[in-house]
């Protein structure tokens, strides 16, 4: 497989402004209402006066072993060999919704056309448009890679995207070590003194909270 692409997210730098989710909607012209390829959620911990909130920006995690791909009956969902990005080919999608049920992050969602759509890491613009796009690694080498809208518009520099090997340089040592031990998705973040920055996933944070 070509080098895996993914997202880096630093919760300590996120202000919860939702610029990332709005930028995503604008670039891909997704529905203003119920379709959210990227969303910001707030995780709370503790009780007054030791109460903390952490903003978490979530989208498709482009999982190593994507459960959405495993349950898709038509082969519309593909974990691309060229860059590890998970795409939905809307020409093959029948709108059965299995992928939405299988995804632990709620990434695949119905559009108004009754077909599933989700983050394509800005391979191209528009639902389903990235399915047959050239490798993100190839685009980058040619200077043609489209930087994800969420990264472009992040006010606090909390989001980044790129080849995982490059993103690891931004992660904390603890996060990088955990990612190497379990590449299925997750690098953690937690609040407080032991806070670490991570990439590709925040599953551990929500499970521990």
CATH of residue 105's domain is 3.30.70.20
CA atoms of 30 and 125, how far apart (whole Å): 10
Q: With respect to residue 209, please indicate whether it lies within any of the assigned structural domains.
A: no
Q: With respect to residue 191, please indicate whether it lies within any of the assigned structural domains.
A: no
Q: With respect to residue 196, please indicate whether it lies within any of the assigned structural domains.
A: no
Q: With respect to residue 19, please indicate whether it lies within any of the assigned structural domains.
A: yes
**Domain boundaries, position 164:** 5-181
Q: What does the DSSP assignment read for 43-106?
A: EEEEETTEEEEEEEEE-----TT-HHHHH-SSS-EEE-TTT--EEE-TTT-----HHHHH-TT-
Please give the pLDDT value at position 209: 35
Phi/psi of residue 163, nearest 5 degrees: -60, 140
- Residue 197 and residue 171 in contact, taking contact as beta carbons nearer than 8 Å: yes
Count how many domains the chain has: 1
Q: With respect to residue 54, please indicate whether it lies within any of the assigned structural domains.
A: yes
Please give the pLDDT value at position 208: 40
Q: With respect to residue 186, please indicate whether it lies within any of the assigned structural domains.
A: no
Rounded to two decimals, the pTM is 0.84
- Residue 23 and residue 11 in contact, taking contact as beta carbons nearer than 8 Å: no
Please give the pLDDT value at position 29: 87
Q: With respect to residue 136, please indicate whether it lies within any of the assigned structural domains.
A: yes
Low-confidence ranges of the chain (pLDDT < 70): 1, 174, 182-209
Q: With respect to residue 175, please indicate whether it lies within any of the assigned structural domains.
A: yes
């Amino acid at each position: 497989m070509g080098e895996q692409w993914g997202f880096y997210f630093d919760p300590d730098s996120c202000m919860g402004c939702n610029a990332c989710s709005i930028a995503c909607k604008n670039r891909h012209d997704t529905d203003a209402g119920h379709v959210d390829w990227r969303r910001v959620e707030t995780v709370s911990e503790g009780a007054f006066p030791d109460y903390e909130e952490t903003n978490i920006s979530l989208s498709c995690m482009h999982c190593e072993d994507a459960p959405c791909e495993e349950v898709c009956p038509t082969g519309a969902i593909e974990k691309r060999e060229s860059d590890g990005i998970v795409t939905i080919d809307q020409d093959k999608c029948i709108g059965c919704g299995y992928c939405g049920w299988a995804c632990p992050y709620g990434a695949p969602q119905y559009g108004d056309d009754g077909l599933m759509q989700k983050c394509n890491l800005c391979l191209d613009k528009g639902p389903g448009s990235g399915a047959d796009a050239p490798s993100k690694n190839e685009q980058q080498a040619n200077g043609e890679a489209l930087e994800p809208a969420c990264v472009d518009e992040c006010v606090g520099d909390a989001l980044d995207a790129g080849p995982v090997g490059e993103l690891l340089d931004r992660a904390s040592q603890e996060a990088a070590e955990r990612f190497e031990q379990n590449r299925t998705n997750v690098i953690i973040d937690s609040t407080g003194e032991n806070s670490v920055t991570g990439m590709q996933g925040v599953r551990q944070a929500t499970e521990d909270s």
